[in-house]
Amino acid sequence: MVLIGPSLMCADQGILRDSVETLDDCGVDYFHFDVMDGVFVPNYSLSADTVKDLRKYTKKPFDVHLMVQNPERYIDQFVDAGADLISIHAESTNHLHRAIDRIHARGARAGVAINPATSLHVLDYVLEMTHYVCLMTVNPGFSGQTFISGMYEKVEGLKAKIDREKTDTQIQVDGNIGLNTISKIVPLGATMLVCGTSCLFQANSDLSSSAIKLRVFVQEQIRLNNERM
């Protein structure tokens, strides 16, 4: 199964509730919240209050991506607000193992996010306790960037690592995930797609139509991938 997760940072912030309800009705699988502190990345974004405010409008899982320095300080706050999944950057903490443990202790699913230039070796001692790895396919901080072509090889390398270690870890990809990149990245093993301005939140495009088109396209890629196997 390949899961579609709208990136709410890319939505119209003035009609965020309407966008969530529309996307929920269209059958997306989860909602992705980018949280930025202006320190770890040069931008500010969604807060725990946003997560809490939107929680009542959908039962779909909330995936919180903490692009913040020392993310362990915020785990409890976001779980209390309604987060079901929390990913933290390997580059943002000196105590990655401890932070993952804390996410587990709070009953959420734990993810590790890594920047494009970060080696997969940072996962060597935590992969078995990680529900998903968020591979950044652009440098984090801003939407609308160009997909970094070397990340196809990185997805392939992560899939091989997961298979070698025999874990159930899922591969999430985040950054310019559009129809063109999806057709290439799903066969390599990506199973959680973070979708923003490249295929969902587009100017002069109906959100509902874009979501339905995306779902049909992803299902077709799954079918083609199964035929190849």
Express as a percent the part of the chain with pLDDT over 70: 100
- Residues forming the active site: 34, 174
What confidence category does residue 29 fall into, taking pLDDT thresholds of 50, 70 and 90?
A: very high
What is the gyration radius of the CA atoms in the chain, in angstroms? 16
What confidence category does residue 180 fall into, taking pLDDT thresholds of 50, 70 and 90?
A: very high
Q: How many whole angstroms separate alpha carbon 78 and alpha carbon 152?
A: 31
Domains delineated in the chain = 3-228 (3.20.20.70)
Query: Residue 140: its pLDDT value, please?
Result: 84
Q: How many whole angstroms separate alpha carbon 96 and alpha carbon 113?
A: 11
Query: Residue 228: its pLDDT value, please?
Result: 81
The 10 Å CB-count burial string (b at 16+, else e) for 198-220 is bbbbeeeeebeebbebbeebbee
Beta strands 3-6 and 109-114 are unpaired
pLDDT exceeds 80 at position 11: yes
- The stretches of 166-206 forming alpha helices (DSSP H) are 179-185
Which residues share a beta bridge with 110?
86
Average pLDDT over residues 55-77: 97
Average pLDDT over residues 214-227: 92
pLDDT exceeds 80 at position 142: no
Average pLDDT over residues 54-82: 97
Average pLDDT over residues 84-107: 98
Express as a percent the part of the chain with pLDDT over 90: 90
Average pLDDT over residues 143-152: 88
Tell me the torsion sign for CA atoms 139, 144, 145, 150.
positive
Q: Which of 26-40, 85-99, 129-143 has the lowest mean pLDDT?
A: 129-143
What confidence category does residue 141 fall into, taking pLDDT thresholds of 50, 70 and 90?
A: confident
Tell me if 56 sits within 8 A of 82, measured CB to CB.
no
Query: Residue 105: its pLDDT value, please?
Result: 98
- Average pLDDT for the chain: 95
